[in-house]
Chains A and B, each alone.
Chain A
Amino acid sequence: MSLDKEKIKHVAKLARISVDEAKVDSLTKDLNSIFKFIEQLNELNTDKVEPLTSILNQSLRSRKDEISDGKIREKILKNSPKKNEEFFVVPKVVE
Protein backbone atom coordinates (compact mmCIF):
# COMPACT_ATOMS: atom_id res chain seq x y z
CA MET A 1 0.00 0.00 0.00
CA SER A 2 1.48 3.30 -0.89
CA LEU A 3 0.32 6.69 0.17
CA ASP A 4 0.00 9.37 -2.46
CA LYS A 5 -0.12 13.09 -1.95
CA GLU A 6 -3.88 13.30 -2.35
CA LYS A 7 -4.45 10.69 0.33
CA ILE A 8 -2.09 12.51 2.66
CA LYS A 9 -3.92 15.78 2.10
CA HIS A 10 -7.21 14.06 2.82
CA VAL A 11 -5.88 12.58 6.06
CA ALA A 12 -4.43 15.97 7.01
CA LYS A 13 -7.85 17.51 6.45
CA LEU A 14 -9.41 14.93 8.77
CA ALA A 15 -6.73 15.71 11.37
CA ARG A 16 -7.22 19.46 10.91
CA ILE A 17 -3.61 20.06 10.03
CA SER A 18 -2.76 22.20 7.05
CA VAL A 19 0.12 20.75 5.12
CA ASP A 20 2.72 23.04 3.65
CA GLU A 21 2.82 22.36 -0.08
CA ALA A 22 6.62 22.55 -0.03
CA LYS A 23 6.78 19.76 2.52
CA VAL A 24 4.35 17.33 0.91
CA ASP A 25 7.04 15.46 -1.01
CA SER A 26 9.28 14.76 1.94
CA LEU A 27 6.27 13.93 4.08
CA THR A 28 5.07 11.46 1.47
CA LYS A 29 8.48 9.84 1.38
CA ASP A 30 8.71 9.57 5.17
CA LEU A 31 5.22 8.21 5.60
CA ASN A 32 5.73 5.63 2.90
CA SER A 33 8.90 4.35 4.50
CA ILE A 34 7.11 4.16 7.85
CA PHE A 35 4.18 2.28 6.35
CA LYS A 36 6.50 -0.09 4.58
CA PHE A 37 7.97 -0.86 7.98
CA ILE A 38 4.55 -1.17 9.62
CA GLU A 39 3.29 -3.53 6.96
CA GLN A 40 5.62 -6.26 8.16
CA LEU A 41 2.57 -7.21 10.20
CA ASN A 42 0.98 -8.59 7.06
CA GLU A 43 3.33 -11.56 7.34
CA LEU A 44 1.32 -12.73 10.32
CA ASN A 45 -1.94 -14.59 10.07
CA THR A 46 -4.16 -13.22 12.83
CA ASP A 47 -7.53 -14.55 11.66
CA LYS A 48 -8.14 -16.43 14.88
CA VAL A 49 -6.74 -13.85 17.28
CA GLU A 50 -9.00 -11.72 19.46
CA PRO A 51 -7.92 -8.09 19.38
CA LEU A 52 -6.68 -6.74 22.69
CA THR A 53 -9.04 -4.10 24.09
CA SER A 54 -7.30 -3.50 27.38
CA ILE A 55 -4.05 -4.63 28.87
CA LEU A 56 -5.61 -4.67 32.34
CA ASN A 57 -7.68 -7.67 33.18
CA GLN A 58 -10.31 -5.87 35.21
CA SER A 59 -13.71 -4.31 34.72
CA LEU A 60 -14.39 -0.61 34.55
CA ARG A 61 -14.50 1.00 37.98
CA SER A 62 -17.31 3.49 38.54
CA ARG A 63 -17.89 6.45 40.80
CA LYS A 64 -20.91 7.52 42.80
CA ASP A 65 -23.37 9.92 41.25
CA GLU A 66 -22.38 12.98 43.24
CA ILE A 67 -21.75 16.58 42.28
CA SER A 68 -18.12 17.09 43.21
CA ASP A 69 -16.83 19.40 40.52
CA GLY A 70 -17.59 22.48 38.44
CA LYS A 71 -18.10 26.09 39.51
CA ILE A 72 -14.54 26.93 38.42
CA ARG A 73 -15.32 29.11 35.43
CA GLU A 74 -12.38 31.38 36.06
CA LYS A 75 -9.93 28.47 36.00
CA ILE A 76 -11.57 26.99 32.95
CA LEU A 77 -11.41 30.23 30.97
CA LYS A 78 -8.07 31.49 32.29
CA ASN A 79 -5.85 29.88 29.65
CA SER A 80 -8.10 30.56 26.68
CA PRO A 81 -6.56 32.59 23.84
CA LYS A 82 -9.89 34.36 23.38
CA LYS A 83 -12.72 34.58 25.84
CA ASN A 84 -15.03 37.00 27.59
CA GLU A 85 -16.30 36.80 31.12
CA GLU A 86 -18.59 33.89 30.43
CA PHE A 87 -17.67 32.16 27.18
CA PHE A 88 -14.87 30.81 25.06
CA VAL A 89 -14.84 32.81 21.85
CA VAL A 90 -13.97 31.29 18.48
CA PRO A 91 -14.16 32.47 14.88
CA LYS A 92 -17.64 32.26 13.41
CA VAL A 93 -18.84 28.76 12.67
CA VAL A 94 -20.70 28.30 9.42
CA GLU A 95 -23.23 25.44 9.58
Chain B
Amino acid sequence: MSNITNQSLSEILESIKSKKISSLELTQAYIKNIENAKKLNAFVTTTFDQALENAKKFDNKSNNEQLLSGVPLAVKDLFCTENVKTTAGSNILNNFVPSYESTVTKNLWNNGAFLLGKLNCDEFAMGSSNETSFFGNVINPIGDHLVPGGSSGGSSSALVADLTPATIGTDTGGSIRQPASFTGTVGLKPTYGLCSRWGIVAFASSLDQAGPMTKTVNDCSIMLEAMSGFDEKDSTSINKKKETYSKNLKDNIKGLKIGIPKEYRVDNMPKEIDELWEKGKKILKDLGAQLIDISLPHTKYALPTYYIVAPAEASSNLARYDGVRYGYRSQKGKDLIEMYENTRSEGFGDEVKRRILIGTYVLSSGYYDAYYLKAQKVRQLIKKDFDDSFTKVDAILTPSTPSSAFKIGEKTNDPVSMYLNDIFTVPVNLAGLPALSLPAGLDKQGYPLGLQLIGKALDEQKILNIGYAFEKNCGYKNEIKKWWS
Protein backbone atom coordinates (compact mmCIF):
# COMPACT_ATOMS: atom_id res chain seq x y z
CA MET B 1 0.00 0.00 0.00
CA SER B 2 2.73 2.46 0.92
CA ASN B 3 4.29 2.18 -2.51
CA ILE B 4 1.14 2.02 -4.60
CA THR B 5 2.06 5.31 -6.27
CA ASN B 6 5.29 4.01 -7.75
CA GLN B 7 3.45 1.30 -9.59
CA SER B 8 2.44 1.50 -13.19
CA LEU B 9 -1.02 2.64 -14.22
CA SER B 10 -2.00 -0.88 -15.27
CA GLU B 11 -0.94 -2.29 -11.90
CA ILE B 12 -2.89 0.44 -10.11
CA LEU B 13 -5.96 -0.26 -12.25
CA GLU B 14 -5.65 -3.91 -11.30
CA SER B 15 -5.46 -3.02 -7.61
CA ILE B 16 -8.56 -0.90 -7.85
CA LYS B 17 -10.42 -3.52 -9.76
CA SER B 18 -9.56 -6.20 -7.23
CA LYS B 19 -10.39 -3.75 -4.44
CA LYS B 20 -6.92 -4.07 -2.96
CA ILE B 21 -7.09 -0.33 -2.70
CA SER B 22 -9.95 2.14 -2.91
CA SER B 23 -9.97 5.09 -5.24
CA LEU B 24 -10.03 7.33 -2.17
CA GLU B 25 -6.92 5.74 -0.67
CA LEU B 26 -5.15 6.00 -3.99
CA THR B 27 -6.11 9.65 -4.36
CA GLN B 28 -5.01 10.43 -0.82
CA ALA B 29 -1.66 8.79 -1.50
CA TYR B 30 -1.09 11.00 -4.54
CA ILE B 31 -2.21 14.11 -2.67
CA LYS B 32 0.32 13.32 0.01
CA ASN B 33 3.06 12.91 -2.60
CA ILE B 34 2.10 16.16 -4.29
CA GLU B 35 2.12 18.06 -1.03
CA ASN B 36 5.61 16.75 -0.32
CA ALA B 37 6.88 17.64 -3.76
CA LYS B 38 6.30 21.40 -3.89
CA LYS B 39 10.00 21.89 -4.61
CA LEU B 40 9.55 20.34 -8.02
CA ASN B 41 7.01 23.05 -8.95
CA ALA B 42 5.22 20.57 -11.20
CA PHE B 43 1.69 21.80 -10.42
CA VAL B 44 0.10 25.12 -11.28
CA THR B 45 -3.26 24.18 -9.80
CA THR B 46 -4.39 21.28 -7.63
CA THR B 47 -7.98 20.11 -7.44
CA PHE B 48 -7.73 17.94 -4.33
CA ASP B 49 -11.22 18.54 -2.96
CA GLN B 50 -12.81 17.78 -6.25
CA ALA B 51 -10.60 14.70 -6.68
CA LEU B 52 -11.49 13.37 -3.22
CA GLU B 53 -15.17 13.88 -3.97
CA ASN B 54 -14.82 11.99 -7.23
CA ALA B 55 -12.86 9.18 -5.56
CA LYS B 56 -15.57 8.77 -2.94
CA LYS B 57 -18.22 8.80 -5.59
CA PHE B 58 -16.36 6.08 -7.45
CA ASP B 59 -15.91 3.93 -4.36
CA ASN B 60 -19.61 4.17 -3.56
CA LYS B 61 -20.64 3.04 -6.96
CA SER B 62 -17.63 1.54 -8.57
CA ASN B 63 -17.75 0.82 -12.23
CA ASN B 64 -14.73 -1.25 -13.16
CA GLU B 65 -15.76 -1.69 -16.74
CA GLN B 66 -14.00 1.45 -17.80
CA LEU B 67 -10.44 1.83 -19.06
CA LEU B 68 -9.39 4.22 -16.29
CA SER B 69 -11.76 3.28 -13.48
CA GLY B 70 -11.24 5.29 -10.31
CA VAL B 71 -7.89 6.80 -11.23
CA PRO B 72 -6.92 10.40 -10.43
CA LEU B 73 -4.89 12.07 -13.17
CA ALA B 74 -3.03 15.36 -13.39
CA VAL B 75 -2.87 16.90 -16.86
CA LYS B 76 -0.81 19.56 -18.60
CA ASP B 77 -2.22 23.02 -18.01
CA LEU B 78 -2.81 23.46 -21.72
CA PHE B 79 -6.02 21.42 -21.64
CA CYS B 80 -9.06 23.53 -20.84
CA THR B 81 -10.86 22.12 -17.82
CA GLU B 82 -14.37 23.14 -16.92
CA ASN B 83 -14.46 25.49 -13.94
CA VAL B 84 -10.78 24.84 -13.21
CA LYS B 85 -8.28 27.58 -13.97
CA THR B 86 -6.35 26.96 -17.18
CA THR B 87 -3.24 29.06 -17.68
CA ALA B 88 -1.10 27.56 -20.48
CA GLY B 89 1.79 28.61 -18.22
CA SER B 90 1.12 32.24 -19.05
CA ASN B 91 0.42 35.42 -17.14
CA ILE B 92 -2.04 36.38 -19.85
CA LEU B 93 -4.31 33.46 -18.81
CA ASN B 94 -3.45 33.61 -15.12
CA ASN B 95 -7.08 34.18 -14.14
CA PHE B 96 -8.83 32.26 -16.91
CA VAL B 97 -11.48 29.75 -15.86
CA PRO B 98 -12.97 27.93 -18.85
CA SER B 99 -16.64 27.04 -18.92
CA TYR B 100 -15.82 24.01 -21.05
CA GLU B 101 -13.79 20.81 -21.00
CA SER B 102 -11.35 19.80 -23.73
CA THR B 103 -12.41 16.74 -25.72
CA VAL B 104 -9.31 14.80 -24.73
CA THR B 105 -9.73 15.35 -20.98
CA LYS B 106 -13.45 14.71 -21.29
CA ASN B 107 -12.58 11.37 -22.90
CA LEU B 108 -10.39 10.52 -19.91
CA TRP B 109 -13.15 11.40 -17.44
CA ASN B 110 -15.68 9.45 -19.51
CA ASN B 111 -13.38 6.48 -19.10
CA GLY B 112 -13.56 6.69 -15.31
CA ALA B 113 -10.61 8.93 -14.42
CA PHE B 114 -10.86 12.27 -12.63
CA LEU B 115 -8.76 15.41 -12.34
CA LEU B 116 -6.06 15.71 -9.69
CA GLY B 117 -4.52 18.97 -10.85
CA LYS B 118 -3.02 21.01 -13.66
CA LEU B 119 0.63 20.60 -14.53
CA ASN B 120 3.14 23.31 -15.22
CA CYS B 121 4.45 23.74 -18.74
CA ASP B 122 6.37 26.15 -20.90
CA GLU B 123 4.33 29.25 -21.69
CA PHE B 124 1.93 28.31 -24.50
CA ALA B 125 4.03 25.13 -24.85
CA MET B 126 6.89 27.18 -26.29
CA GLY B 127 10.06 25.81 -24.81
CA SER B 128 12.18 22.72 -24.36
CA SER B 129 13.03 23.03 -20.68
CA ASN B 130 9.97 24.33 -18.86
CA GLU B 131 11.86 27.50 -18.09
CA THR B 132 9.50 29.83 -19.94
CA SER B 133 6.52 29.23 -17.65
CA PHE B 134 5.11 32.27 -15.87
CA PHE B 135 4.82 30.00 -12.82
CA GLY B 136 8.53 29.30 -12.66
CA ASN B 137 10.65 26.46 -13.90
CA VAL B 138 10.00 22.84 -13.05
CA ILE B 139 12.71 20.61 -11.62
CA ASN B 140 13.59 17.20 -12.98
CA PRO B 141 13.30 14.61 -10.18
CA ILE B 142 16.38 12.96 -11.72
CA GLY B 143 18.50 15.77 -10.31
CA ASP B 144 17.71 19.04 -8.55
CA HIS B 145 19.73 21.10 -11.01
CA LEU B 146 18.22 19.57 -14.16
CA VAL B 147 15.40 20.64 -16.41
CA PRO B 148 12.60 18.12 -16.91
CA GLY B 149 12.42 18.90 -20.60
CA GLY B 150 9.61 20.83 -22.21
CA SER B 151 7.17 21.93 -22.94
CA SER B 152 5.37 19.16 -21.02
CA GLY B 153 7.92 19.45 -18.19
CA GLY B 154 5.41 19.52 -15.35
CA SER B 155 3.94 16.35 -16.80
CA SER B 156 7.25 14.46 -17.05
CA SER B 157 8.35 15.65 -13.62
CA ALA B 158 5.05 14.73 -11.95
CA LEU B 159 4.99 11.32 -13.59
CA VAL B 160 8.48 10.29 -12.63
CA ALA B 161 8.04 11.67 -9.10
CA ASP B 162 4.89 9.55 -8.62
CA LEU B 163 2.59 12.57 -8.40
CA THR B 164 0.22 11.11 -10.98
CA PRO B 165 -0.11 7.54 -12.26
CA ALA B 166 0.02 8.68 -15.86
CA THR B 167 -0.49 11.97 -17.61
CA ILE B 168 -1.07 13.68 -20.91
CA GLY B 169 0.92 16.33 -22.67
CA THR B 170 0.92 18.03 -26.03
CA ASP B 171 3.62 17.74 -28.64
CA THR B 172 4.18 20.40 -31.29
CA GLY B 173 7.86 19.78 -31.95
CA GLY B 174 8.81 17.22 -29.32
CA SER B 175 7.08 18.50 -26.20
CA ILE B 176 6.03 15.00 -25.10
CA ARG B 177 8.95 12.92 -26.34
CA GLN B 178 11.81 15.14 -25.20
CA PRO B 179 10.60 15.43 -21.57
CA ALA B 180 9.86 11.69 -21.60
CA SER B 181 13.41 11.07 -22.75
CA PHE B 182 14.80 13.44 -20.06
CA THR B 183 12.96 11.59 -17.29
CA GLY B 184 13.24 7.96 -18.39
CA THR B 185 9.54 7.63 -19.18
CA VAL B 186 7.37 6.70 -22.14
CA GLY B 187 5.85 9.41 -24.32
CA LEU B 188 3.80 9.12 -27.48
CA LYS B 189 2.97 11.76 -30.04
CA PRO B 190 0.05 10.28 -31.99
CA THR B 191 -0.71 10.75 -35.67
CA TYR B 192 -1.93 14.28 -36.39
CA GLY B 193 -5.71 14.10 -36.16
CA LEU B 194 -5.97 11.05 -33.88
CA CYS B 195 -6.64 13.06 -30.72
CA SER B 196 -8.98 16.02 -30.88
CA ARG B 197 -7.45 19.47 -30.50
CA TRP B 198 -10.77 20.94 -29.33
CA GLY B 199 -10.31 22.70 -26.02
CA ILE B 200 -6.52 22.60 -26.03
CA VAL B 201 -4.88 26.01 -25.93
CA ALA B 202 -3.42 26.20 -29.42
CA PHE B 203 0.24 26.77 -30.17
CA ALA B 204 0.71 25.70 -33.82
CA SER B 205 -2.46 24.16 -35.16
CA SER B 206 -0.95 22.09 -37.97
CA LEU B 207 1.56 20.48 -35.59
CA ASP B 208 -0.12 20.29 -32.16
CA GLN B 209 -1.14 16.87 -30.99
CA ALA B 210 -2.01 15.61 -27.53
CA GLY B 211 -0.59 12.33 -26.33
CA PRO B 212 0.06 10.12 -23.31
CA MET B 213 3.07 10.20 -20.98
CA THR B 214 3.40 7.06 -18.90
CA LYS B 215 5.72 4.77 -17.03
CA THR B 216 5.27 1.79 -19.33
CA VAL B 217 4.29 1.05 -22.92
CA ASN B 218 1.22 -0.83 -21.76
CA ASP B 219 0.12 2.25 -19.78
CA CYS B 220 0.72 4.30 -22.89
CA SER B 221 -1.59 2.10 -24.93
CA ILE B 222 -4.31 2.34 -22.27
CA MET B 223 -4.09 6.11 -22.12
CA LEU B 224 -4.03 6.48 -25.90
CA GLU B 225 -7.08 4.31 -26.20
CA ALA B 226 -8.90 6.43 -23.63
CA MET B 227 -7.98 9.85 -24.96
CA SER B 228 -8.13 9.37 -28.74
CA GLY B 229 -11.10 9.26 -31.04
CA PHE B 230 -12.98 11.13 -33.70
CA ASP B 231 -14.36 14.52 -32.73
CA GLU B 232 -16.74 16.32 -35.04
CA LYS B 233 -15.84 19.62 -33.37
CA ASP B 234 -12.31 19.44 -34.79
CA SER B 235 -12.15 19.73 -38.59
CA THR B 236 -8.73 18.07 -38.57
CA SER B 237 -9.87 15.07 -36.54
CA ILE B 238 -9.62 11.78 -38.43
CA ASN B 239 -12.89 9.90 -38.70
CA LYS B 240 -12.04 6.26 -38.09
CA LYS B 241 -13.05 3.37 -35.91
CA LYS B 242 -11.72 3.46 -32.39
CA GLU B 243 -8.90 1.03 -31.74
CA THR B 244 -8.25 -1.10 -28.66
CA TYR B 245 -4.53 -0.57 -28.38
CA SER B 246 -4.07 -2.19 -24.97
CA LYS B 247 -5.97 -5.35 -25.83
CA ASN B 248 -4.04 -5.74 -29.07
CA LEU B 249 -0.64 -5.12 -27.56
CA LYS B 250 1.77 -7.86 -28.73
CA ASP B 251 5.46 -8.36 -28.16
CA ASN B 252 6.13 -10.42 -31.26
CA ILE B 253 7.91 -8.22 -33.76
CA LYS B 254 9.61 -10.93 -35.77
CA GLY B 255 10.11 -9.98 -39.41
CA LEU B 256 9.27 -6.30 -38.98
CA LYS B 257 11.48 -3.99 -40.97
CA ILE B 258 13.06 -1.19 -38.96
CA GLY B 259 14.55 1.75 -40.84
CA ILE B 260 17.72 3.38 -39.60
CA PRO B 261 18.05 6.86 -41.12
CA LYS B 262 21.64 7.89 -41.66
CA GLU B 263 20.84 11.60 -41.38
CA TYR B 264 20.10 11.25 -37.67
CA ARG B 265 23.79 10.81 -36.96
CA VAL B 266 24.47 14.52 -36.51
CA ASP B 267 27.67 16.47 -35.97
CA ASN B 268 28.84 16.75 -32.39
CA MET B 269 26.39 14.13 -31.21
CA PRO B 270 27.66 12.66 -27.93
CA LYS B 271 29.17 9.22 -28.30
CA GLU B 272 26.78 7.79 -25.76
CA ILE B 273 23.80 8.70 -27.94
CA ASP B 274 25.37 6.74 -30.74
CA GLU B 275 25.97 3.84 -28.38
CA LEU B 276 22.40 4.00 -27.20
CA TRP B 277 21.17 3.81 -30.76
CA GLU B 278 23.41 0.81 -31.41
CA LYS B 279 22.00 -0.84 -28.30
CA GLY B 280 18.49 -0.25 -29.53
CA LYS B 281 19.22 -1.69 -32.94
CA LYS B 282 20.71 -4.79 -31.34
CA ILE B 283 17.69 -5.36 -29.11
CA LEU B 284 15.30 -5.13 -32.06
CA LYS B 285 17.51 -7.33 -34.21
CA ASP B 286 17.70 -9.93 -31.47
CA LEU B 287 13.90 -9.88 -31.35
CA GLY B 288 13.80 -10.86 -35.00
CA ALA B 289 13.34 -7.48 -36.64
CA GLN B 290 15.20 -6.64 -39.80
CA LEU B 291 17.30 -3.46 -39.80
CA ILE B 292 17.32 -1.50 -43.02
CA ASP B 293 19.44 1.57 -43.75
CA ILE B 294 17.30 4.38 -45.08
CA SER B 295 17.77 8.00 -46.01
CA LEU B 296 15.62 10.97 -44.99
CA PRO B 297 17.61 13.53 -46.95
CA HIS B 298 15.81 16.67 -45.78
CA THR B 299 16.13 15.98 -42.06
CA LYS B 300 18.62 18.81 -41.65
CA TYR B 301 16.01 21.30 -42.85
CA ALA B 302 13.27 20.18 -40.50
CA LEU B 303 14.21 22.46 -37.63
CA PRO B 304 14.58 25.63 -39.75
CA THR B 305 11.23 24.76 -41.37
CA TYR B 306 9.66 24.24 -37.98
CA TYR B 307 10.91 27.62 -36.77
CA ILE B 308 9.00 29.29 -39.59
CA VAL B 309 5.79 27.25 -39.57
CA ALA B 310 5.26 27.03 -35.82
CA PRO B 311 5.86 30.72 -35.01
CA ALA B 312 3.77 31.79 -38.02
CA GLU B 313 0.79 29.80 -36.81
CA ALA B 314 1.44 30.84 -33.22
CA SER B 315 1.55 34.54 -34.09
CA SER B 316 -1.99 34.17 -35.43
CA ASN B 317 -3.26 31.73 -32.78
CA LEU B 318 -2.12 34.03 -30.00
CA ALA B 319 -3.73 37.14 -31.50
CA ARG B 320 -6.88 36.35 -29.52
CA TYR B 321 -5.11 37.19 -26.26
CA ASP B 322 -5.94 40.86 -26.42
CA GLY B 323 -7.41 41.60 -23.00
CA VAL B 324 -10.94 42.02 -24.32
CA ARG B 325 -12.87 38.85 -23.52
CA TYR B 326 -10.78 36.94 -20.99
CA GLY B 327 -7.38 36.89 -19.38
CA TYR B 328 -5.07 39.67 -18.35
CA ARG B 329 -5.68 43.30 -19.35
CA SER B 330 -3.15 46.04 -18.72
CA GLN B 331 -4.54 49.13 -17.05
CA LYS B 332 -2.07 51.29 -18.93
CA GLY B 333 -2.76 53.01 -22.22
CA LYS B 334 -5.20 55.64 -23.35
CA ASP B 335 -6.89 53.94 -26.26
CA LEU B 336 -7.61 50.48 -27.62
CA ILE B 337 -4.32 50.08 -29.48
CA GLU B 338 -2.26 51.01 -26.44
CA MET B 339 -4.34 48.67 -24.32
CA TYR B 340 -3.52 45.84 -26.75
CA GLU B 341 0.17 46.62 -26.84
CA ASN B 342 0.54 46.87 -23.11
CA THR B 343 -1.63 43.86 -22.39
CA ARG B 344 0.30 41.63 -24.75
CA SER B 345 3.65 43.02 -23.72
CA GLU B 346 2.98 42.51 -20.01
CA GLY B 347 0.98 39.31 -20.44
CA PHE B 348 3.39 37.31 -22.58
CA GLY B 349 6.88 36.22 -21.57
CA ASP B 350 10.02 36.81 -23.62
CA GLU B 351 10.09 33.51 -25.52
CA VAL B 352 6.46 33.80 -26.54
CA LYS B 353 6.98 37.37 -27.68
CA ARG B 354 10.05 36.33 -29.60
CA ARG B 355 8.13 33.66 -31.45
CA ILE B 356 5.20 35.96 -32.16
CA LEU B 357 7.63 38.42 -33.70
CA ILE B 358 9.30 35.70 -35.79
CA GLY B 359 5.90 34.48 -36.94
CA THR B 360 4.60 37.96 -37.73
CA TYR B 361 7.75 38.71 -39.69
CA VAL B 362 7.73 35.54 -41.82
CA LEU B 363 4.12 36.18 -42.81
CA SER B 364 4.48 39.88 -43.43
CA SER B 365 4.20 41.49 -46.78
CA GLY B 366 7.32 41.01 -48.87
CA TYR B 367 8.66 38.12 -46.79
CA TYR B 368 5.89 35.53 -47.10
CA ASP B 369 7.33 33.78 -50.15
CA ALA B 370 10.88 33.77 -48.88
CA TYR B 371 9.97 32.26 -45.53
CA TYR B 372 6.51 30.84 -45.03
CA LEU B 373 5.93 29.57 -48.55
CA LYS B 374 9.45 28.22 -48.71
CA ALA B 375 8.92 26.39 -45.43
CA GLN B 376 5.67 24.83 -46.66
CA LYS B 377 7.54 23.56 -49.70
CA VAL B 378 10.32 22.07 -47.61
CA ARG B 379 7.67 20.57 -45.37
CA GLN B 380 6.34 18.80 -48.44
CA LEU B 381 9.83 17.40 -49.10
CA ILE B 382 10.18 16.23 -45.52
CA LYS B 383 6.84 14.49 -45.69
CA LYS B 384 7.85 12.88 -48.97
CA ASP B 385 11.07 11.57 -47.40
CA PHE B 386 8.98 9.69 -44.86
CA ASP B 387 6.43 8.52 -47.44
CA ASP B 388 9.23 7.09 -49.55
CA SER B 389 10.88 5.35 -46.60
CA PHE B 390 7.64 3.83 -45.38
CA THR B 391 7.29 1.95 -48.64
CA LYS B 392 10.32 0.00 -47.44
CA VAL B 393 10.05 -0.20 -43.66
CA ASP B 394 7.45 -0.69 -40.91
CA ALA B 395 8.97 1.77 -38.46
CA ILE B 396 11.99 3.97 -38.01
CA LEU B 397 14.34 3.94 -35.03
CA THR B 398 16.21 7.10 -34.00
CA PRO B 399 17.48 8.70 -30.80
CA SER B 400 14.83 10.89 -29.14
CA THR B 401 17.15 13.76 -28.26
CA PRO B 402 20.72 14.74 -28.98
CA SER B 403 21.58 14.83 -25.25
CA SER B 404 20.31 13.98 -21.80
CA ALA B 405 18.64 16.52 -19.51
CA PHE B 406 20.66 19.71 -19.32
CA LYS B 407 21.16 22.07 -16.43
CA ILE B 408 18.65 24.69 -15.44
CA GLY B 409 19.72 28.00 -17.00
CA GLU B 410 22.25 26.35 -19.29
CA LYS B 411 20.57 27.29 -22.55
CA THR B 412 18.25 30.14 -21.64
CA ASN B 413 20.50 32.76 -23.21
CA ASP B 414 20.97 30.96 -26.49
CA PRO B 415 17.67 30.32 -28.24
CA VAL B 416 19.17 28.42 -31.16
CA SER B 417 20.97 25.91 -28.96
CA MET B 418 17.72 25.46 -27.06
CA TYR B 419 15.85 24.88 -30.32
CA LEU B 420 18.43 22.27 -31.43
CA ASN B 421 17.18 20.03 -28.65
CA ASP B 422 14.20 19.15 -30.82
CA ILE B 423 16.26 18.19 -33.85
CA PHE B 424 15.13 14.53 -33.82
CA THR B 425 11.55 15.10 -32.78
CA VAL B 426 10.48 17.96 -35.04
CA PRO B 427 10.49 16.11 -38.42
CA VAL B 428 7.75 13.81 -37.10
CA ASN B 429 5.43 16.73 -36.33
CA LEU B 430 6.04 18.28 -39.73
CA ALA B 431 5.03 14.99 -41.34
CA GLY B 432 2.08 14.38 -39.00
CA LEU B 433 3.32 10.92 -38.01
CA PRO B 434 3.14 9.01 -34.73
CA ALA B 435 6.30 8.56 -32.69
CA LEU B 436 7.03 6.88 -29.40
CA SER B 437 9.90 7.81 -27.10
CA LEU B 438 11.13 4.94 -24.94
CA PRO B 439 13.59 5.00 -22.07
CA ALA B 440 16.59 3.06 -23.30
CA GLY B 441 19.60 3.77 -21.11
CA LEU B 442 21.64 6.21 -19.09
CA ASP B 443 24.47 8.49 -20.01
CA LYS B 444 27.70 8.54 -18.07
CA GLN B 445 26.24 10.95 -15.53
CA GLY B 446 23.45 8.49 -14.92
CA TYR B 447 20.78 10.60 -16.68
CA PRO B 448 18.13 8.86 -18.78
CA LEU B 449 18.27 8.72 -22.56
CA GLY B 450 15.49 7.77 -24.93
CA LEU B 451 15.05 6.17 -28.32
CA GLN B 452 12.30 7.14 -30.72
CA LEU B 453 10.17 4.83 -32.87
CA ILE B 454 8.45 6.57 -35.76
CA GLY B 455 5.49 4.91 -37.43
CA LYS B 456 3.35 5.37 -40.49
CA ALA B 457 0.29 7.56 -40.12
CA LEU B 458 -2.27 5.79 -37.90
CA ASP B 459 0.15 2.93 -37.23
CA GLU B 460 0.26 3.53 -33.47
CA GLN B 461 -0.42 -0.11 -32.71
CA LYS B 462 2.71 -1.22 -34.50
CA ILE B 463 5.09 1.19 -32.77
CA LEU B 464 3.45 0.39 -29.43
CA ASN B 465 4.05 -3.32 -30.11
CA ILE B 466 7.68 -2.72 -31.01
CA GLY B 467 8.03 -0.53 -27.93
CA TYR B 468 6.41 -3.19 -25.80
CA ALA B 469 8.84 -5.84 -27.01
CA PHE B 470 11.74 -3.42 -26.64
CA GLU B 471 10.77 -2.51 -23.09
CA LYS B 472 10.69 -6.14 -22.01
CA ASN B 473 14.16 -6.74 -23.36
CA CYS B 474 15.86 -3.46 -22.55
CA GLY B 475 15.80 -3.78 -18.79
CA TYR B 476 15.64 -0.04 -18.21
CA LYS B 477 14.48 1.02 -14.79
CA ASN B 478 14.35 4.45 -13.21
CA GLU B 479 16.09 4.50 -9.81
CA ILE B 480 15.15 7.77 -8.22
CA LYS B 481 15.79 8.88 -4.67
CA LYS B 482 12.96 11.08 -3.51
CA TRP B 483 15.30 13.87 -2.50
CA TRP B 484 12.57 16.48 -2.63
CA SER B 485 10.31 15.18 0.08
A residues sitting closer than 8 Å to B (CB atoms) are 1, 3, 7-8, 11-12, 14-20, 23, 27, 30-31, 33-35, 37-42, 44, 46, 49-56, 58, 60-61, 63, 72, 75-76, 78-82, 88, 90-94
Interface residues on B, range: 35 or more
| B383/A79 in contact, CB under 8 A | no
Look across to chain A and name the residue whose beta carbon is closest to the beta carbon of B332. A18
- Provide the B381-412 mask, 1 if CB < 8 A to any CB of A, else 0: 10100000000000000000000000000000
| A53/B419 in contact, CB under 8 A | no
Q: Which residue of the partner chain, among A23, A46, A79, contacts B377 with CB atoms under 8 Å?
A: A46
| A51/B345 in contact, CB under 8 A | no
B residues sitting closer than 8 Å to A (CB atoms) are 95-97, 99, 192-193, 206, 232, 235-236, 238-239, 298, 300-301, 303-305, 307-308, 315, 319, 322-329, 333-342, 344-345, 348, 350, 353-354, 356-358, 360-361, 364, 370-371, 373-381, 383, 415-416, 419, 430-432
Interface contacts beyond A33-B416, A91-B339: sample of 16 additional A-B pairs, CB < 8 Å, sorted by A: A23-B350, A27-B357, A34-B354, A35-B358, A38-B304, A41-B308, A46-B374, A49-B381, A51-B376, A56-B432, A63-B232, A75-B99, A79-B326, A80-B324, A81-B326, A81-B327
Chain A residues near B328 (CB-CB < 8 A): 81
Q: Which residue of the partner chain, among A7, A23, A40, contacts B304 with CB atoms under 8 Å?
A: A40
| A44/B315 in contact, CB under 8 A | no
Q: How far is the CB of B126 from chain A (nearest CB, A)?
A: 13
CA distance A52 to B238 in the complex (A): 18
Q: Which residue of the partner chain, among A20, A31, A79, contacts B325 with CB atoms under 8 Å?
A: A79
CA distance A14 to B359 in the complex (A): 11
A/B interface sample: 10 pairs, CB < 8 A:
A23-B350, A30-B354, A40-B301, A55-B192, A61-B239, A78-B97, A79-B95, A79-B96, A81-B324, A91-B333
Tell me what chain B mostly uses at the interface: helix, strand, loop, or mixed.
helix
| A93/B336 in contact, CB under 8 A | yes
Look across to chain A and name the residue whose beta carbon is closest to the beta carbon of B344. A17
CA distance A38 to B354 in the complex (A): 14
| A34/B415 in contact, CB under 8 A | yes
| B345/A18 in contact, CB under 8 A | yes
Q: How far is the CB of A30 from chain B (nearest CB, A)?
A: 5
| B307/A38 in contact, CB under 8 A | yes
Report, nearest first, the 3 A-B pairs whose CB atoms are least far apart. Answer: A79-B326, A51-B376, A55-B432
| B375/A79 in contact, CB under 8 A | no
| A56/B380 in contact, CB under 8 A | no
| B377/A50 in contact, CB under 8 A | yes
Chain B residues near A63 (CB-CB < 8 A): 232
Chain A residues near B326 (CB-CB < 8 A): 79-81
CA distance A91 to B331 in the complex (A): 10
